[in-house]
């Protein structure tokens, strides 16, 4: 079950008696919990009908006792168990007896309580505990938003702040956040902080521009690497050198920059290979597990490159990585030497 599915159940007042929340996108999880409390708990009786436990230390008997207690002057109550390791594949701190007690509750949960277990790790779906929960309730995964829902989420925050943004600038903002980039560790909390900077920078001005975004959001490493490779493909070695120097001045480790350049050439080679086989950029999006707009950008970037040239450039990157890791080259010098080599690569 997804975050959107849970929100629909909450909006329709069709909640299950028990849920397991897990995943990496804590912003969405926190938002769901806040809305659950707003919708289901009367502030006047919150001391009685809103209970929070720490699953890593609280006794199961105490938790279950609270779940079975009737709500005070209301139809339902909410019980939240944070740091709940019970459903993980690793050790879950439950004895056999307490695990059985929890399973028995999950088989026949109270119909006047909404119980939410919060975790981050993916649950072990083979466990009896998990199977018992999903028979009477739902497991909700809070993963990253995709390339369709992420821009809409940003648009909503911008609109709620009384600002506007046109579709082209929103697309540019999506790229600049690096949230959707392959391997990105950016979260919605990170993006929200970026948006607040941009919104604050606009002041009383209503419309957000690309200049506002460029001023307040640092260009992500992935975008700098893309521009560097673009410059090399156009034989603009001086531009590639300026980009690399800026990255080093900003404190990016040379070995990290080198790894990103190697990864990018690997993606370009795969894109070229699949497109030569007849794949369209939209079909490649799912095959390469990349957002559609990233695949389209890569597809446009490979036009000046032959398969032979891309293979040579990727192999040169791998050789340089090996030389740096084995101490044959200092990182910064290795990248600069590599860029000269790539600019002179065979067509």
Q: pLDDT category, 129, cuts 50, 70, 90?
A: very high
Architecture of the domain made up of 221-343: Up-down Bundle (1.20)
pLDDT confidence of residue 210: 93
pLDDT confidence of residue 94: 78
HSE-up of residue 18 (Cα within 13 Å, Cβ side):
23
pLDDT confidence of residue 41: 94
DSSP 43: G
CA distance 325 to 321: 6
Count of C-beta atoms within a 10 Å radius of residue 270: 17
**For residue 180, is pLDDT > 70?**
yes
CA distance 224 to 135: 48
Residues contacting 46, CB < 8 A, separation 6+: 37
Count of C-beta atoms within a 10 Å radius of residue 193: 11
> Which residues are bridge partners to 82 per DSSP?
54
Pick the CATH number of 3-141 from 3.40.50.300, 1.10.10.10, 3.30.1200.10, 3.30.420.40: 3.40.50.300
Domain segments of the chain as ranges: 3-141, 149-216, 221-343
Higher pLDDT, 299 or 290: 299
pLDDT confidence of residue 48: 94
Percentage of the residues of the chain whose pLDDT score is greater than 70: 98
Phi and psi at residue 340, in whole multiples of 5°? -65, -45
**pLDDT, tens only, 34-51:** 999 999 999 999 999 999
Percentage of the residues of the chain whose pLDDT score is greater than 90: 56
CA distance 186 to 259: 18
Q: pLDDT category, 91, cuts 50, 70, 90?
A: low
Topology (CATH level 3) of domain 149-216: Helicase, Ruva Protein; domain 3 (1.10.8)
CA distance 187 to 178: 10
**For residue 66, is pLDDT > 90?**
yes
pLDDT confidence of residue 294: 80
pLDDT confidence of residue 164: 97
The mean pLDDT value of the chain amounts to 90
Exposure letters 105-143 (e unless 16+ CB within 10 A, then b): bbeebbebbbbbbbbeeebeeebebbebbbeebbbbbbe
> Which residues are bridge partners to 191 per DSSP?
none
Q: pLDDT category, 134, cuts 50, 70, 90?
A: very high
**For residue 93, is pLDDT > 80?**
no
**Mean pLDDT within 300-328:** 90
């Amino acid at each position: 079950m997804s975050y959107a599915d849970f929100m629909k159940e909450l909006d329709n007042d069709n909640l299950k008696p028990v849920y397991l929340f897990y995943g990496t996108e804590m912003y969405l999880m926190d938002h769901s919990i806040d809305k659950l409390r707003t919708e289901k708990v009367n502030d006047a009786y919150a001391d009685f009908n809103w209970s929070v436990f720490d699953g890593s230390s609280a006794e199961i008997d105490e938790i279950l006792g609270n779940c079975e207690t009737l709500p005070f002057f209301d139809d339902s109550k909410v019980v939240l168990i944070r740091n709940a390791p019970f459903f993980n594949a690793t050790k879950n701190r439950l004895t056999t007896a307490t695990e059985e007690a929890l399973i028995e509750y999950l088989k026949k949960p109270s119909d006047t309580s909404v119980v939410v277990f919060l975790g981050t790790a993916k649950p072990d779906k083979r466990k009896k505990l998990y199977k018992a929960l999903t028979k009477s309730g739902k497991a909700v995964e809070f993963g990253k938003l995709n390339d369709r829902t992420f821009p809409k989420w940003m648009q909503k925050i911008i609109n709620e702040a009384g600002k506007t943004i046109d579709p082209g600038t929103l697309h540019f903002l999506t790229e600049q956040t690096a949230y959707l980039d392959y391997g990105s560790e950016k979260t919605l909390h990170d993006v929200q902080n970026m948006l607040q900077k941009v919104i604050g920078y606009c002041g009383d001005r209503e419309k957000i521009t690309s200049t506002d975004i460029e001023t307040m959001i640092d260009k992500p490493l992935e975008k700098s690497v893309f521009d560097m490779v673009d410059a090399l493909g156009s034989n603009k070695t001086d531009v590639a050198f300026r980009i690399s120097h800026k990255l080093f001045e900003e404190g990016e480790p040379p070995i990290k920059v080198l790894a990103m350049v190697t990864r990018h050439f690997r993606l370009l080679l795969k894109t070229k290979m699949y497109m030569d086989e007849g794949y369209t950029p939209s079909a490649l999006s799912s095959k390469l597990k990349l957002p559609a707009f990233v695949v389209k950008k890569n597809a446009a970037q490979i036009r000046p490159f032959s398969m032979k040239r891309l293979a040579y450039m990727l192999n040169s990157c791998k050789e340089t990585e090996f030389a740096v890791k084995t101490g044959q080259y200092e990182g910064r010098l290795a990248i600069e030497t590599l860029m000269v080599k790539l600019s002179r690569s065979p067509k």
